[in-house]
């Protein structure tokens, strides 16, 4: 009997195998047929400490028996208050926290806050600047500030116009900075510039330096353009620090968090804002309030999971695990250094990537499903981005498990190239 489920980013017409996962622990997923998969991508970049982390699972269970859900418009609860205070303490210069449900909604909230900020100040600023090859989610606003591609081609009539800054590729960094400077100085002054700091995820794991991030933020500050950091993927240690912006010494005006906010256990997102942005919405005029919410804003169970996650960060050497994981990724990538079909190996924090030389290198490259299927047969959950092969495993993954993952990748490449 066929399943009625419509899966995301899945072409059901190809009738590819869809394994059923029934349990998980640490870096491993257990399938209904008894096989085990090493989770090489943290189940879409969300799991940080490991699957079913005991402290987070216990916090979820305890909160579920105490307060499961409540309206957050005009009401509050202890888990949300504690979480907001912790997040503000971790991000000096960002003084207010708005909760939502996913990375896409965190971005939508940031965009609406930016536009509302200028509207409430009486300034007609409507244009958003974006970085080439970027991806910020799949809702309408988030798609609008992402790269125009096969991801959103069918929905083009719904998307608003943006101005694109070229990606700061090697030997083209100054072109990026000059373009940003020119756009910020234009008479049609932009409202905000949104970036994925240090690494573009779905765009192909493209890495750029903290110095470039620092200079981009400085240009925006010089011209009074809001700087928005989408740390949905990069936050919670993925780039080697708690947040990627730390490596550049940058405090954005708005920061988007999700994925690892709860350790990946349950969905929760947050948009952190500066005091200036909050104050531009604060008034005795109800028409100037921030008009955004969802039914599950600041769900107590999700906030409890996030608080347990922050306890782990406070009490355990998480970044030490990230460093060890990074060393194992470096060692695995080094074995492909002389491979004729592979090039551009790179690693930042707990993310390692390498490109396969292929005739078609876009997201719909034919090599991606073949590599994914071959890795699956080797017991590895892998999801290449076109011809870009990457590993972004949970922080509990051991060097031996990383070596196993690279062995599976090597076998997959050999099977593909014949």
pLDDT value for 2: 85
Tokens (6 digits) for 34: 């008894």
Mean predicted lDDT score pLDDT of the chain: 96
Q: By the 8 A CB rule, do 300 and 262 touch?
A: no
CA dihedral 142, 147, 151, 155 (to 10 degrees): 70
* Low-confidence stretches of the chain (pLDDT beneath 50): none
pLDDT value of position 248: 98
Six token digits for residue 205: 């794991």
Residue-level pLDDT at 293: 93
Nearest to 215 by CA among 178, 242, 188, 241: 178
Q: 212: part of which helix (H) or strand (E)?
A: helix 210-222
For residue range 93-126, list pLDDT tens digits in order. Answer: 999 999 999 999 999 999 999 999 999 999 999 9
Residue 416: predicted pLDDT: 83
The torsion angle over the Cα atoms of residues 129, 135, 139 and 142, rounded to 10 degrees, is: -20
Which pLDDT value is given to residue 362? 75
Q: Are 41 and 407 in contact (CB under 8 A)?
A: no
- pLDDT value of residue 71: 97
Domains and CATH numbers, the chain: 12-53+317-417 (3.90.1150.10), 56-315 (3.40.640.10)
**Can you give the pLDDT at residue 361?**
72
Rounded to the nearest 10 degrees, the angle between the axes of helix 173-185 and helix 210-222 is 10
* Per-residue pLDDT reduced to its tens digit, 184-220: 999 999 999 999 999 999 999 999 999 999 999 999 9
Which residues make Cβ contacts (< 8 Å) with residue 353, sequence separation at least 6?
205, 344, 345, 346, 347, 388, 389, 390, 391
């Amino acid at each position: 009997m066929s399943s009625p489920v419509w899966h995301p980013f899945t072409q059901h017409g190809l009738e590819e195998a869809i394994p059923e996962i029934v349990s998980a622990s640490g870096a491993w997923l257990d399938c209904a047929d008894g096989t085990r998969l090493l989770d090489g991508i943290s189940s879409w970049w969300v799991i940080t400490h490991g699957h079913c982390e005991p402290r987070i699972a216990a916090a979820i269970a305890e909160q579920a028996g105490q307060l499961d859900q409540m309206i957050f418009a005009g009401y509050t609860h202890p888990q949300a208050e504690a979480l907001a205070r912790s997040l503000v303490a971790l991000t000096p210069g960002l003084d207010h926290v708005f909760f939502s449900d996913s990375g896409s909604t965190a971005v939508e909230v940031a965009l609406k806050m930016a536009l509302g900020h200028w509207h409430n100040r009486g300034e007609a600023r409507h244009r958003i600047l974006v970085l080439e090859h970027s991806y910020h989610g799949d809702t309408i606003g988030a798609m609008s500030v992402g790269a125009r591609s096969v991801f959103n081609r069918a929905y083009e009539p719904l998307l608003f116009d943006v101005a694109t800054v070229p990606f700061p590729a090697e030997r083209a960094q100054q072109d990026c900075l000059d373009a940003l400077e020119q756009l910020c100085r234009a008479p049609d002054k932009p409202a905000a510039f949104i970036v994925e700091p240090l690494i573009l995820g779905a765009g192909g794991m493209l890495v750029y330096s903290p110095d470039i991030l620092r200079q981009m933020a400085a240009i925006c500050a010089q011209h009074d353009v809001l700087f928005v950091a989408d740390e949905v993927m990069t936050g919670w240690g993925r780039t080697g620090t708690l947040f990627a912006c730390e490596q550049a010494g940058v405090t954005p005006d708005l920061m988007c968090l999700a994925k690892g906010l709860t350790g990946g256990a349950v969905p929760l997102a947050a948009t952190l804002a500066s005091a200036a942005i909050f104050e531009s919405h604060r008034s005795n005029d109800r028409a100037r309030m921030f008009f955004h919410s969802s039914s599950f804003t600041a769900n107590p169970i999700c906030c409890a999971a996030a608080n347990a996650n922050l306890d782990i960060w406070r009490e355990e050497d998480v970044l030490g695990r990230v460093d060890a994981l990074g060393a194992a990724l470096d060692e695995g990538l080094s074995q492909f250094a002389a491979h004729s079909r592979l090039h551009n190996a790179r690693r930042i924090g707990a993310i390692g990537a390498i490109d396969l030389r292929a005739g078609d290198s876009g997201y719909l490259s034919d090599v991606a499903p073949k590599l994914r299927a071959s890795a699956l047969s080797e017991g590895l959950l892998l999801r290449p981005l076109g011809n870009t092969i990457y590993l972004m495993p949970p922080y509990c993954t051991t060097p031996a498990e990383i070596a196993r993952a690279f062995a599976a990748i090597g076998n997959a490449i050999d099977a593909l190239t014949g």
